[in-house]
Amino acid sequence: MLRAASVLSVTAPDRSLVVLAGIALLEGLGLVAYALFDVVEAVRVGTSGPEDVSNAPALILLVVITAAFGVGMIWVARGWWRAQRWARAPFILSEIIAVLIGYELAQSAGSAERYLGIGIALVGVVGLIVSFAPSVGRAIDDQD
């Protein structure tokens, strides 16, 4: 007879994996929200801006790419939560992109854009550092 405790025992993920899953989830939800914001703004005020991004095909492409990347990051968050090794490579790539985008935004003249850029860059750096932590390596090696 199986004991109920052994059947129901669930091990909690390593703290560093929880941090990485949280970062990836936050970034994924942010990207999906931004894609939805672009759709709402396009419906509300129409397309505006430079000619190469102020037409319907360009807006649709931007929304599709942003939403797809956001859904991908949500999937990566799930991978981190389950301590799956494959989550590391796309996460590292996305964090490098986040640091580069954050750096560019931090150079903006507006204070809101500057603070947003600093925040994005800091989250990217933290994600990179934590993803190479020894505890993360052990946790994803234990699952293989």
47-95: pLDDT as tens digits: 766 565 577 888 899 899 999 999 999 999 999 999 999 999 999 999 9
56-81 helix and 88-106 helix, angle to the nearest 10 degrees? 130
What's the pTM? 0.82
| Residue 11 confidence (pLDDT) | 61
Closest by CA to 42, choosing from 25, 22, 56, is: 56
- Residue 47 placed within a domain: yes
Give domain status of residue 136, yes or no: yes
Q: How far apart are CA 68 and CA 11, in angstroms?
A: 31
CB-CB contact of 71 with 29 (8 Å)? no
Number of domains in the chain: 1
- Residue 9 maps to a domain: no
Quick check: is 3 in a domain? no
Q: Tell me the pLDDT band of 131, cut-offs 50, 70 and 90.
A: very high
> Does residue 60 sit within a domain?
yes
Contacts of 118 (CB under 8 A, 6+ apart): 102, 105, 106
Closest CA to 16 of 143, 122, 128: 128
Identify the pLDDT of residue 55: 79
Question: And the tokens for 35?
Answer: 């894609």
Residue 8 lies inside a defined structural domain of this protein: no
7 domain-assigned: no
As a whole-number percent, the residues of the chain with pLDDT over 70 amount to: 85
Supply the pLDDT for residue 59.
85
Residue 1 has what pLDDT?
A: 47
Range of the domain at 34: 14-143
Q: Is residue 99 part of a domain?
A: yes
